[in-house]
């Protein structure tokens, strides 16, 4: 039995064993993908429940091109249109299909000349069955997210979002949630595909739900890549604990990456902490502070890669809304990242939410440049201001402004440019 086949068999066995912890009754038979009761209808004397979901989101954005150059700027209006249809049969079997169209206004200048619908796609198409006493199996194209989206998330900020071709076994009990999953994220197709190697994602997740003040969870994610020359196996394992007590919220997380790709070894870590407090008064003012540390690779000439990779995270929500460091480690040159910040937020009137975020962004490992032979860890100061207002139950509007003041380490990454960057957006969202 060759290495690829043997590893695949072992992976499938581990996936099945991980799921066996879930054989307990579920607290509720309603899937998280199911909309509120008012958006459902029953047919066949209640044996079949049908629901529909829809979204239309339009966003105007204007921003500099993240190159610290004052002469480059973009502005556009992007649109997401989604329509989904689901059905549940006898409380045991469900199916859901969701299509979406993502485009920029004006990109299809004339429908008489361009009618190829390039932005049209199937975002989700899955089936789910209740196998036995609350143990569910879900297969097909679907969204996946764990904890606060720090390792695997849906990236809802982007118009296209993220979904996976995956198979999942899971259960939710009143005391815990458990899941095991397998996803094929790239297919070589015997040399005819667009990727150089088959790439799979396999993992398991467990979270205790019993306690209000302490909710710990554990996540294991393994990337399994094969090609004709290099086999890469990288494993991310970590834990998170969060909770709340009388207006005080907290979250602590630590993840470690290990594995190998040919002669290269992986050894990296991520630590994230966040503490917040919200006053229980009419305007609900609050404050949050955080510190995130992502390891970097100090010696890029050896055979150990110490730069943490955030994999399929929703990084837009963590390291600044201007998305300078959306792809870690690529956007930091493999030198890691430090993010120290604070958020002030308030609800001055009902349905209106205001927030201001400040980020002090630094490298874990100083970088150098050929411009003036300097080395630095200081990347940037970033300030983001966000406002959201809920017009109706399913209609909301929002806007935001961000500014980033670069420092030496970011100037080194950008070849010596040092222009202060600005970003603005305004958005409408209709969704049910």
Mean pLDDT of 403-413: 94
Q: Identify the structural domains of the chain with CATH numbers, from first to last.
A: 3-431 (2.40.160.100)
Comparing 14-23, 48-57, 247-256, 393-402, the range with the smallest average pLDDT is: 14-23
What does the pLDDT read at residue 374?
74
**Banded model confidence at residue 339, pLDDT cuts 50, 70, 90:** very high
The CA distances from residue 360 to 196, 290, 378, 382, in Å, are 38, 11, 8, 7
Residue 14 confidence (pLDDT) above 50: no
Comparing 66-80, 205-219, 304-318, 358-372, the range with the smallest average pLDDT is: 358-372
What does the pLDDT read at residue 110?
77
Residue 264 confidence (pLDDT) above 50: yes
Residue 239 confidence (pLDDT) above 50: yes
Sequence-distant (6+) residues with CB within 8 A of 31 are 88, 94, 128
**Banded model confidence at residue 192, pLDDT cuts 50, 70, 90:** low
Residue 130 confidence (pLDDT) above 50: yes
**Banded model confidence at residue 27, pLDDT cuts 50, 70, 90:** very low
Query: Under a CB-based contact definition with an 8 Å cutoff, are residues 388 and 395 in contact?
Result: no
What does the pLDDT read at residue 201?
95
Compare 329 and 119 and report the one with higher pLDDT. 329
Whole-prediction pTM value?
0.87
Compare 375 and 27 and report the one with higher pLDDT. 375
What does the pLDDT read at residue 26?
33
Tokens 């969202």 appear where?
429
Sequence-distant (6+) residues with CB within 8 A of 71 are none
Residue 109 confidence (pLDDT) above 90: no
Closest CA to 362 of 347, 340, 342: 340
Mean pLDDT of 315-339: 96
| Nearest-angstrom CA–CA distance, 242 and 217 | 9
Tokens 């929703």 appear where?
314
**Banded model confidence at residue 230, pLDDT cuts 50, 70, 90:** low
Structure tokens at 157: 């900020």
């Amino acid at each position: 039995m060759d290495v690829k086949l043997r590893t695949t068999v072992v992976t499938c066995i581990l996936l099945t064993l991980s799921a066996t912890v879930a054989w307990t009754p579920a607290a509720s038979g309603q899937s998280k993908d199911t909309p509120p009761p008012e958006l459902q209808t029953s047919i066949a004397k209640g044996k079949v429940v049908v629901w529909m979901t829809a979204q239309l989101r339009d966003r105007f954005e204007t921003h500099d091109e993240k190159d610290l150059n004052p002469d480059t700027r973009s502005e556009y209006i992007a649109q997401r249109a989604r329509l989904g249809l689901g059905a549940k049969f006898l409380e045991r079997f469900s199916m859901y299909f969701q299509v979406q169209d993502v485009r920029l206004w004006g990109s299809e200048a004339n429908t008489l000349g361009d009618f190829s619908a390039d932005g049209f796609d199937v975002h989700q198409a899955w089936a789910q069955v209740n196998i036995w006493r609350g143990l569910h199996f879900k297969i097909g194209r679907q969204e996946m997210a764990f904890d606060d989206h720090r390792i695997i998330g849906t990236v809802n900020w982007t118009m296209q979002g993220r979904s996976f071709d995956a198979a999942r076994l899971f259960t939710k009990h009143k005391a815990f949630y458990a899941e095991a999953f397998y996803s094929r994220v790239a297919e070589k197709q015997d040399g005819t595909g667009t990727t150089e190697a088959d790439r799979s994602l396999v993992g398991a997740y467990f979270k205790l739900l019993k306690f209000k003040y302490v909710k710990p969870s554990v996540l294991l994610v393994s990337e399994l890549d094969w090609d004709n020359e290099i086999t890469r196996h990288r494993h991310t394992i970590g834990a998170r604990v969060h909770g709340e007590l009388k207006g005080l919220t907290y979250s602590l997380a630590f993840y470690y990456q290990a594995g190998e790709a040919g002669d290269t070894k992986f050894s990296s870590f991520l630590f994230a902490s966040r503490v917040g407090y919200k006053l229980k008064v009419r305007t609900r003012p609050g404050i949050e502070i955080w510190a995130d540390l992502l390891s970097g690779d100090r010696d890029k000439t050896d055979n150990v890669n110490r730069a943490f990779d955030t994999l399929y995270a929703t990084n837009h929500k963590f390291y600044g809304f201007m998305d300078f460091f959306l792809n870690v480690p690529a956007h930091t040159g493999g030198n890691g990242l430090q993010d120290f910040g604070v958020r002030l937020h308030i609800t001055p009137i009902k349905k209106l939410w205001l927030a201001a975020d400040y980020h002090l962004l630094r490298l874990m490992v100083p970088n150098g440049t050929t411009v003036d032979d300097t080395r630095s860890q200081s990347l940037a100061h970033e300030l983001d201001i966000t406002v959201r207002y809920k017009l109706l139950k399913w209609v909301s509007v929002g806007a935001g402004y961000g500014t980033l003041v670069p420092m030496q380490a970011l100037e080194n990454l950008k070849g010596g440019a040092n222009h202060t960057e600005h970003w603005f957006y305004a958005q409408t969202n209709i969704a049910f």
